[in-house]
A and B are shown apart, each in its own frame.
Chain A
Amino acid sequence: MSHYEAPIREPLVLGDKSYHDITEDIAKPIEGAANKNWYIAFYISLAAMLWGFGCIFYTVGTGIGVWGLNKNIGWAWDITNFVWWVGIGHAGTLISAVLLLFRQKWRMAINRSAEAMTIFAVFQAGLFPIIHMGRPWNGYWVLPMPNQFGSLWVNFNSPLLWDVFAISTYLSVSLVFWWTGLLPDFAMIRDRAVKPFQKKIYALLSFGWSGRAKDWQRFEEVSLVLAGLATPLVLSVHTIVSMDFATSINPGWHSTIFPPYFVAGAIFSGFAMVQTLLGIMRKVTNLEDYITRMHIEYMNIVIILTGGIVAVAYATEFFIAWYTGSPYENYTYLSVGAATGPYAWAFWSLIIFNIITPQLLWIKKFRRSFIITFIISIAINIGMWFERFDIIAIVLSKGHLPSTWWRFEPTFVDVGIFVGTIGFFFVLFLLYARTFPVIAQAEVKTILKSSGEFYKKRREQGIPTKPAINLANVAGTSDKSNKE
């Protein structure tokens, strides 16, 4: 009775699973050894990361002039990548917070990995505001700290300062949200560990979690309040990022639609990245019974929804550019600025990858197909990179004064740093997948009886989920009081 669920709902946990099976399945990737493919992927990522770090040191040591920026286009790949990575991070919080508020049970198998993705993506994003500074060693001046310059403060009017507050709040809150959720799962690994070193590590990581009734009561309240705080946070963070552009006076940037449109785009691209990662992860970690076709389909539905919002936003931008009567706006959007200018290839990549390709997901067969989902998710990741590149570079390349018109060509350092962040991201994600419980087992166990395939079938046959009490079953009724 307590676990009633409409029979129309598809099961979220496949197979004949018990609570112990869930433990076993989730602990297996951590307790086993890594295979050859993992090492190949890890070393490729590591090489990319080191190459990226080399490019960063080269930039900082030599100067920003090694990038393809010029005096008119002062932001290009750096901020494009920054916004792209922040956007990718947003799906994690959406899955763990917004779907928690809406009591979506399907989030439970994917929230851990989505949150990990958030944190690792925000790490990458956080690199760019520092390395794109001309004097990154003075980066700490953005903090309002009392100082020896007569206490010279920061200017709270700048969206770039809001970014500092937004990103650091976002990263730190996501981190504690994620970590608090990990405590019971680390405790499970700790209590299973046979190697003393492993036991020590997981005992340290699990903060001595014991799973008391009171702890669980507080844990659930903390999760709910954090979800309630993280939801406006996730909306505000990308809003603030969008204000880097929206509060400017550039035609093409100065736009009130940016805050919701960027947030929708962030969820769109973030979910695409979750699809890319989980499509592979469910296979290599043998967690296909937990991350099912159903999960992939639900995520694809969110992708269609947010992709639709983004498409409406593009249309609105174009309509308003025409409707406003401002020749500059008109020029940026409708003339050589975007669709037919030197960046037409970037503009049309955006339209094809972001607007046209995802429409295939309306077809049920496609959105339930792992292969097609994987391909479309990659397309969206590319398309959303172009969205940010188009917004930033196309607008800057054609400003108010024709004498300032210029083009942007990236150098190998621009590209190298971007490749480096992708490598760094995968290094972190691959290490995570080997050492962390990639599915929140404590949460999945709560839905096993309501949404597990085995229990759903039993309910259909009229068998209660509660096992009958067998009085002869009491195994070790003993008095251990004299043993110690």
Chain B
Amino acid sequence: MISVYYFGAIALVLIGLYAILVKKNLLKILIGLSIMETGVNLLLISIGYVSGRSAPILSEGIGPSQAVDPIPQALVLTAIVIGVATTAMALSVAMLIYEKYGTLNIEEIRRLRG
């Protein structure tokens, strides 16, 4: 049986891909990119999950054999920071495009490029 986490993560990736491919507004495309990145992070974390084990924090009574896989968590912690940096840079580029062309429609921007 497929885990519900896999279903949710792949659904988020597909919804974000739909927004990137179909929508015309630049900010809506960036919202789709952010949703897609959240889906990829959720997929990575759910791959490392082992059912019935606890968080990988070594404390009283919890040894290394009773914790989930900590490597995807470190990977995702890096990927979240990279994602928010990418989103902030793309939003500043979108603001500069709006100041230069006065629109956010990507077809208009392609027509006005000159």
Q: Do A and B bind each other?
A: no
Binding site for A on B (CB under 8 A): none
